[in-house]
Amino acid sequence: MHPILIILILSLICSVALSVIIGNSWLILPIFCGAAAGLGLLFWLILLAFSAVVPHGKIYREPSKLYLRLLNLAYAFVCEGARARINAKGLEKLPEKPFLLVSNHRSQLDNMVQSLVLRPRKIAFIAKAELFKIPIVRGMITRCCYLSLGRKSTKGDRSAVETAEDYINRNVLSIGVYPEGHRSKDRQMLKFHAGSFKIAIDTGCPIVVSAVMGTEKVHKRFPFRKTDVYFDIIDVIDPNGRKSVELSEEIHEIIQKYVNDNEKE
């Protein structure tokens, strides 16, 4: 998905065509810049319009295919604009049925990168409540079944964890979590909150253990250098018969060791 590239190609076509019609080749550059800016703005205005019509706080039984495409287009626009080059491996390990994706957390790009890589699969993330206050984001992620910890459903006051379990039990989608709770600023991961592993224990769904690397470097290199970011599937763990604290400690150790062994300087 390359929305910025498509916008630039369309802008170039428009600028060349108009300059030929007008008969002034010097107009190609200003028309190109104007068209690119206009199409880019139109792109975000369309997303804002779609986001605005989604009722605040509603919990949907399943995500909208249209909104999933639009959300991933927005993610692709941000990652492409930030010059992040996504590398992924281990995808062959993914189970066919819904799973709980567990990952370390480095930057706000993490879930964007993971969503883009996993877009053939339906996945929603348990996100911070602050994201649901951003107008252009709120409606999009709500309609894609993202959940906020502490947010209550209007149909039964189910917590985010209980709603996530319902999605998995009904084979609607997979759930992504960041058990650290906050972004770590270096290779040393923060302590995991064991509560998120209750989703896998209660539903029996497999836990996909993953690592993201390099996303925290993007803002330092933008706009002059591209940044390689990595999303690797490390292992898949069966939670049956396990306790949340035990799983939390084991998976924290697995991810930390993988990052230490594989992260590039």
- Domains, the chain, ranges and CATH? 1-53 (no CATH), 57-262 (3.40.1130.10)
pLDDT band at 219 (very low <50, low <70, confident <90, very high): confident
Q: Do you know the residue count of the chain? A: 265
Cα(34)–Cα(26) distance, rounded to whole angstroms? 14
- pLDDT tens digit sequence for 65-115: 999 999 999 999 999 999 999 999 999 999 999 999 999 999 999 999 999
Higher model confidence: residue 184 or residue 93? 93
Backbone torsions φ then ψ of 62, nearest 5 degrees: -155, 155
Looking at residue 265, its pLDDT comes to 66
253 closest CA partner among 264, 242, 245 = 245
Looking at residue 174, its pLDDT comes to 97
153 closest CA partner among 142, 141, 144, 140 = 142
SS3 state of residue 114: helix
Q: CA neighbours within 13 Å on the CB side: how many for 225?
A: 8
pTM: 0.90
228-247 as b/e, with b when 16 or more CB fall inside 10 Å? ebbbbbbeebebeebebeeb
- pLDDT tens digit sequence for 128-173: 888 888 888 999 999 999 998 754 443 333 588 899 999 999 999 9
Query: Is the pLDDT assigned to residue 254 strictly greater than 70?
Result: yes
Which amino acid appears at position 69 of this protein?
R
